[in-house]
Amino acid sequence: MNRFLFVMLAGLILTGATQRGGSADKLTENNKNTAIKVFSEIYGAGKLELINELFADDFVDDSPGGGRGRAFVKSSITDFRTAFPDLHFELQDVFGTEDKVVVRYAASGTQTGPFGQFLPSGKPVYVRGITIFQVKDGKIKREWTEYDQLGLMRQIGMIP
């Protein structure tokens, strides 16, 4: 009798875990799709109109040199795409949990526009980075990005 109860209890626990895992898996997939859309359509293609759809009103970028709000995101993307109009992202890894998504990527482009105070160099760049998004209610609430800024500056001749 004890063995029967144990098997029944284990079955109920596993069934519940599977059902909860299913909704968690769907949430994780939705969050991953949001991150992919940010990289492919906003960062990569410059579709700034999607920022309101994918970023929270109170968005915070906790990266070095980061800022707050959707206007900050629009300004940052505009600056990068002005400097590197052919900016392209190759997503190498995308994985996540119910509230965070990690994207490891390689970015490439050619600096044909000004980058901050630096004039166009005409030089191609290849930079790797990692971004972590915190997603809440389907929108990106927080971001942490680290990319090879030193390598970027060297490639365009800002520093030797």
Quick check: is 160 in a domain? no
pLDDT string in tens for the chain (160-residue length)? 444 333 333 343 334 444 445 788 999 999 999 999 999 999 999 999 999 999 999 999 999 989 999 999 999 999 999 999 999 999 999 999 999 999 999 999 999 999 988 899 999 999 999 999 999 999 999 999 999 999 999 999 999 8
Quick check: is 80 in a domain? yes
The pLDDT assigned to 21 comes to 53
Quick check: is 62 in a domain? yes
Quick check: is 101 in a domain? yes
Quick check: is 61 in a domain? yes
Quick check: is 117 in a domain? yes
CATH code, 129: 3.10.450.50
Domain that holds residue 39: 2-155
Instruction: Please tell me the distance from the alpha carbon of residue 88 to that of residue 108, in angstroms, as a whole number.
Output: 5
Instruction: Please tell me the distance from the alpha carbon of residue 25 to that of residue 67, in angstroms, as a whole number.
Output: 31
Quick check: is 30 in a domain? yes
CA 76 from centroid of its chain's CA atoms: 14
The pLDDT assigned to 6 comes to 38
pTM of the entire structure? 0.83
The count of structural domains within the chain is: 1
The pLDDT assigned to 15 comes to 40
Instruction: Please tell me the distance from the alpha carbon of residue 110 to that of residue 92, in angstroms, as a whole number.
Output: 20
The pLDDT assigned to 13 comes to 38
State the virtual CA torsion across 20, 24, 29, 35 in degrees, nearest 10: 170
The pLDDT assigned to 24 comes to 84
Instruction: Please tell me the distance from the alpha carbon of residue 29 to that of residue 51, in angstroms, as a whole number.
Output: 19
